[in-house]
């Protein structure tokens, strides 16, 4: 397993592209992206748990009924949510892409991201479709990654290479996510591609199994979005024996998928709106995996702790507080807490009580760009990791006038 370049275009048979068609008010940012597989692909997806869902999710779920897809089209700048004609617009996007690519509309998956409740016109999408299709390229991942960005400050792309049945396979992805990020399924847009041969049912099993430990463990601001989903396409062009059941090859595929999704989780959390620090909470010694996840999520979601991390303040009481309301049944008198970064590691709590530590050393550790919050519950063997970011003045500035 090794990291490689290429993102969603790393796998055989996949091209991508992105253009500015005029949906966004910003006249320089790309706002339309396309991913295309030259061969039919197994497809799987997971969707936001928010009861208010964007029309593209409804259309994508319908188009995925047969477990197959060839393309994904996504616009940024407008979420196409809470619009009376939302389904019509989403279906129209699929039809426009299908006609340009000589596909069935059912072979095209649709996504949108941006402002909720604003009408979305098909006109700029139709006018930009020719340029979008022409932009498709094996080197087009950066343009596609840019085309799905909203308040993101950096493109998010990653890929890995691995072996299945003696054949070299690849799996890569792109993501957008900066605000309105909270663990409860998906809560961002992620598009993943692979040239491995795997059945639709096993692909869905792999994706559904992975998100509980990855995308469900990311939080920026506690808001679960309306439009977010994770889509995974696998076209089989690597030529490996098709994965149709659990076994060594499925395990290897899951490892590749997890490497990519964890990488994207860290990128999303680290690029939280206004963020200056990536926070990773690692919980060990839990009585069960569910409890470990509850604790890790609760800590990473604490606004008070996030604010303390912004100020490089080793306020470990906020960690204990978040653990206490996590809902996990625990003996709080056995919990140890520490902080770590590339500047070092320091223990601040032992058996649920504070221990002497150097505030100066703690400040130095917490002033780094990436901070680890270390929690040992000392009550079992289960573990979990969650990702988040600090809470800064700029988060309020960004969201104070997001729509206008």
Task: Indicate which residues carry an active-site annotation.
Answer: 187
Phi, psi of 174 (to 5 degrees): -130, 160
Q: Quote the crossing angle between the two packed helices 55-63 and 86-101, to the nearest 10°.
A: 50
Instruction: For residue 43, give the H/E element and its range.
Output: strand 32-47
- If one counts every other C-beta atom within 10 angstroms of the C-beta of residue 359, the result is 10
Q: Which residues of 111-140 are buried (b: 16+ CB within 10 A; e: fewer)?
A: bbbbbbeeebebebbbebbeebbebbeeeb
Number of other residues whose CB lies within 10 A of the CB of residue 212: 16
Exposure of 381 by Cβ count < 10 A (0-12 exposed, 13-18 middle, 19+ buried)?
Answer: exposed
What span, in angstroms and rounded, lies between the C-alpha atoms of 281 and 385? 6
**DSSP characters over 254-284:** HHHHHHHHHHHHHHHHHT-TT---EEEEEEE
Give CA–CA dist 127/86, Å, rounded. 19
Q: How far apart are the first and last CA of the chain?
A: 45
Cα–Cα distance measured from residue 76 to residue 175, given in angstroms and rounded to the nearest whole number: 12
CA 326 to CA 328: how far, in whole Å? 6
H or E element at residue 164: strand 156-164
Burial tier of 51 (Cβ tally within 10 Å: 0-12, 13-18, 19+):
exposed
State phi, psi for 334 to the nearest 5 degrees: -115, 5
């Amino acid at each position: 397993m090794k990291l490689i370049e290429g993102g969603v275009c790393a796998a055989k048979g996949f091209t991508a592209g992105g253009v500015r068609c005029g949906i966004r008010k910003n006249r320089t940012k790309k706002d339309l992206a396309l991913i295309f597989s030259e061969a039919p692909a197994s497809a799987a997806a997971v969707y936001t748990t928010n009861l208010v869902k964007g029309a593209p999710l409804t259309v994508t779920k319908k188009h995925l009924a047969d477990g197959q897809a060839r393309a994904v089209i996504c616009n940024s700048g407008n979420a196409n949510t809470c619009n009376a004609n939302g389904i019509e617009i989403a279906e129209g996007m699929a039809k426009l892409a299908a006609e340009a690519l000589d596909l069935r509309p059912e072979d095209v998956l649709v996504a949108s991201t941006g402002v909720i409740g604003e009408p979305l016109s098909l006109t700029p999408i139709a006018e930009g479709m020719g340029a979008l299709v022409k932009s498709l390229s094996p080197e087009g991942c950066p343009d596609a990654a840019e085309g799905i960005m909203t308040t993101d400050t950096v493109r998010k792309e990653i890929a890995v290479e691995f072996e299945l049945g003696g054949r070299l396979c690849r799996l890569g992805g792109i993501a957008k996510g900066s605000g309105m990020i909270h663990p409860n399924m998906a809560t961002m847009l992620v598009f993943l591609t692979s040239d491995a041969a795997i059945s639709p049912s096993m692909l869905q099993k792999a994706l559904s199994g992975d998100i509980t430990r990855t995308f469900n463990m990311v939080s920026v601001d506690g808001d679960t979005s309306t439009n977010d989903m994770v889509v995974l396409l696998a076209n089989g062009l690597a030529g490996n024996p098709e994965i149709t059941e659990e076994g060594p090859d499925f395990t290897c595929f899951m490892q590749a998928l997890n490497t990519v999704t964890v990488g994207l989780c860290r990128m999303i959390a680290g690029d939280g709106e206004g963020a200056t620090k990536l926070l990773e909470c690692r919980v060990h010694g839990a009585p069960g995996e569910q409890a470990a996840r509850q604790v890790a999520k609760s800590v990473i979601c604490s606004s008070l702790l996030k604010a303390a991390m912004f100020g490089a303040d080793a306020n470990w009481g906020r960690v204990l507080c978040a653990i206490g309301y996590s809902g996990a049944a625990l003996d709080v008198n056995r919990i140890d807490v520490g902080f770590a970064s590339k500047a070092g590691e320091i223990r601040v709590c032992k058996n649920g009580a504070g221990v002497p530590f150097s505030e100066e050393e703690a400040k130095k550790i917490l002033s780094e760009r990436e901070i680890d919050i270390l929690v040992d519950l000392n009550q079992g063997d289960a573990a979990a990791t969650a990702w988040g970011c600090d809470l800064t003045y700029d988060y309020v500035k960004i969201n104070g006038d997001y729509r206008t």
